[in-house]
Amino acid sequence: MDRTAHFRPFRTLLIANRGEIACRVIRTAKTMGLRTVAVYSEADRDAMHVAMADEAVLLGPARARDSYLNIARVIEAARQSGAEAVHPGYGFLSESAEFAQACFEAGLIFVGPTAGMIRAMGSKSGSKMLMEKAGVPLVPGYHGEAQDDATLAKAADQIGFPVLVKASAGGGGRGMRIVRSADELAAALVSAKREAKAAFGDDRMLIEKYVENPRHIEVQVIGDSHGNLLSLFERECTLQRRHQKVIEEAPSPTLNEAQREAVCAAARKAAAAVSYVGAGTIEFVSNGKDVFFIEMNTRLQVEHPVTELITGIDLVEWQLRVASGEKLPRTQDQITLNGHAVEARVYAENPHKNFMPSVGRIRTWHTPEPSNGLRIDAGYRQGDMVSPNYDAMLAKVIAWAPTRDAAIDRLNRGLEDTDVRGVVTNIPFLSALVTHPDVRANAIDTGFIERELKVLTPPAAAAGDLELCAAVAAILIEEAEVTQTEASSPWRTAGWMPVGRRQRRFVFRHGQDAEQEAHLHYGQGPAKLSIGEREFAFTSSPSADGFDLTLDGLKSRIVADIEGHELYLRTRNGRFDLHWVDPFGGDDEELVGEDKIVAPLPGTVVALLAEIGAKLEKGAPILTLEVMKMEQTLRAPFAGVLKVIKCKVGDIVQEGVELAEIEPEAG
């Protein structure tokens, strides 16, 4: 390899990515004194990574294909901004050999391996052939060239069911099917190939023995252009949903010392097989005893922070040093393991609605102060838009402590102290997950989340006395603030000041629960609240992110956020979304009749399936909405005629917006 052609010093770095990873890379690049250039799409004009970088270049329209995935535009942006090197982050173009090659040809340094190395490792089949030669343990399977049905069927028989059919070009769990018996194989191949063709433009398949109840273990490696290669211990990422990682930790609590050394040695052997340069991950599945190579990722991973926290190494810094042609600063015996780290991925998604992504504006963004072994890698701030065009990961909460138990406790506390409002998040689900006794006990496998979904997504707890009291206190505080800051406020003129009132009635609704009532009594001394037969004396005093509520002598911390009639509360009992049914202000929710077809979630209209004037049967498809990667078809609620269509393909619509109107069939 001509080293200096690929790796040499640079001063300006373009980050070809967005969200938390772009922010993460910019942070380190800045501490190294580099000039940073962000790229962005039209949807990301005001995004956090754009604000953080020294300069930013607009790539194009929101759609990833027209912006972050547009190789020619990214190269052009580097030229425009005078960038000498490009960090691809993860996702988008990070594993595109074509992009690495294009950077090279444009005289840019690609922060990662060469195009040749990506090609060699990028295909699951190709890399398995390489690993076989290098003597790395593989899952028994077929990864040959021939793709005809007979060859694949014979291979599956020889391997023995259950098998896993996988797209050779696959990623993100797509193009993958478990096949339990020979008669399911043909159908699984057809659907996996279709998915692979659509996602990767390549429908070649490989077949592997399906390891039952497996664990996912992976090793971080990094190589320099002087022939040095290091392993930086392993991570365990067994907590997955649909083959996508949710919680990751380092080191693996499953391996003993000897197993750890063995898997790291196998990973070094794997990376050495392609004389690997840059940061990469060798992934294995394990039956708890042995590990089997499944693939290599030739880039930085989402979960790299847990490795950083146990080794004290800044992986992005090392990536940038390697790209500039430097030698790795340490030798293998200088890499030491300290303590335990756990990471949780915070997504804008609704675990109660099959993890449907949630989009919209972030109204509240509160994360605990990073310190004490707590790290937050975020890509969003208060006021930012979560767009339906990209992955819904908002941030990662990462905790370190001397022991696994303490790290889990710290992570859970970090999650509890995180409030994101405006979009629905998976934070309560993550809390339930990390506090599950089986997770504590490491009695898990990759199917754990799916099996325990009910326990992990409990119905919201009913609001109790503490919550009702907190809700009343929050309203009174808000009213006091409003009346102080706006002398002409309608709140004041409408007689909202509690002065002179003897009693005031509050009604709240919490989810599907029955309405709850509380009566506030004024008089001498602290206010009293009665709920049913019970009566409470309470006082409140402001605190950093809410107020302290003292209820019958017991003081507790309340986080509160009010918008209109919606109250969000966090108390020691959890999180509560209360609706204040205001008897005077009136609930001005517009009632949308059944004949209106309304967007159930914010999304993009991807297909119109019926025309104006069409006679529709009940259940006939009208249009398809896409919310991130999920499609949802809206159907006629009853038989009738399609009267109005209020949207067109490509429209981005908000939740509750009317999209079409249907007139019931006469008679």
Burial letters for 506-537: b for 16+ Cβ neighbours within 10 Å, e otherwise?
bebbbeeeeebebebeeeeeebebebeeeebe
For the CB of residue 194, give the shortest distance to ligand ADP in the complex, in Å: 16
**561 sits near ligand ADP (criterion: CB under 6 A):** no
* Cβ-Cβ contacts under 8 Å for 254 (sequence gap 6 or more): 215, 217, 236, 238, 286, 288, 442
Report the residue number, 210 or 536, with the smaller CB distance to ligand ADP.
Answer: 210
627 vs 203: CA distance, rounded Å: 25
For the range 171-176, what are the long-range contacts, defined as Cβ-Cβ under 8 Å and sequence gap of 24 or more? 171/95, 171/200, 172/243, 172/244, 173/242, 173/243, 173/244, 174/199, 174/200, 175/199, 175/200, 175/203, 175/205, 176/243
270 vs 276: CA distance, rounded Å: 9
610 and 622 in contact (C-beta within 8 Å)? Answer: yes
For the CB of residue 602, give the shortest distance to ligand ADP in the complex, in Å: 27
User: 35-41 and 12-15 as β-strands: parallel, antiparallel, unpaired?
Assistant: parallel
**139 sits near ligand ADP (criterion: CB under 6 A):** yes
578 vs 562: CA distance, rounded Å: 10
Region of 54-62, 203-211, 489-497, 552-560 interacting with ligand ADP (CB under 6 A): 203-211
Residue 368 is given by DSSP the state: P
Report the residue number, 166 or 269, with the smaller CB distance to ligand ADP.
Answer: 166
Q: Which of 89, 393, 9, 302 is nearest to 99 (CA)?
A: 89
User: Which residue from 152, 211, 263, 267 is in contact with ligand ADP, where contact means CB under 6 A?
Assistant: 211
For the CB of residue 239, give the shortest distance to ligand ADP in the complex, in Å: 10
Region of 142-150, 171-179, 312-320, 416-424 interacting with ligand ADP (CB under 6 A): 171-179
**294 sits near ligand ADP (criterion: CB under 6 A):** yes
Report the residue number, 166 or 260, with the smaller CB distance to ligand ADP.
Answer: 166
Tell me the two tokens of residue 115: 């195009």
For the CB of residue 212, give the shortest distance to ligand ADP in the complex, in Å: 7
**Catalytic: which of 235, 299, 410, 421?**
299
For the CB of residue 81, give the shortest distance to ligand ADP in the complex, in Å: 32
Region of 210-218, 319-327, 392-400, 494-502 interacting with ligand ADP (CB under 6 A): 210-218
The half-sphere exposure of 188 on its side-chain side, counting CA atoms within 13 A, is 23
**243 sits near ligand ADP (criterion: CB under 6 A):** yes
Report the residue number, 122 or 640, with the smaller CB distance to ligand ADP.
Answer: 122
129 vs 143: CA distance, rounded Å: 7
234 and 217 in contact (C-beta within 8 Å)? Answer: yes
Please give the biggest Cα pair distance in the chain.
Answer: 88
**629 sits near ligand ADP (criterion: CB under 6 A):** no
Region of 163-171, 223-231, 396-404, 614-622 interacting with ligand ADP (CB under 6 A): 163-171
Provide the sign of the torsion angle of the four alpha carbons 440, 444, 446, 450, taken in this order: negative
User: Which residue from 279, 282, 285, 411 is in contact with ligand ADP, where contact means CB under 6 A?
Assistant: 285
Region of 145-153, 207-215, 344-352, 368-376 interacting with ligand ADP (CB under 6 A): 207-215
**295 sits near ligand ADP (criterion: CB under 6 A):** yes
User: Active site includes 299?
Assistant: yes
603 and 618 in contact (C-beta within 8 Å)? Answer: no
User: Which residue from 95, 203, 208, 249 is in contact with ligand ADP, where contact means CB under 6 A?
Assistant: 208
**172 sits near ligand ADP (criterion: CB under 6 A):** yes
User: Which residue from 34, 56, 130, 164 is in contact with ligand ADP, where contact means CB under 6 A?
Assistant: 164
Catalytically active residues are 299
Residues of this chain that bind ligand ADP (CB under 6 A): 139, 164, 166, 170-173, 176, 208-211, 214, 216, 240, 243, 283, 285, 294-295, 446
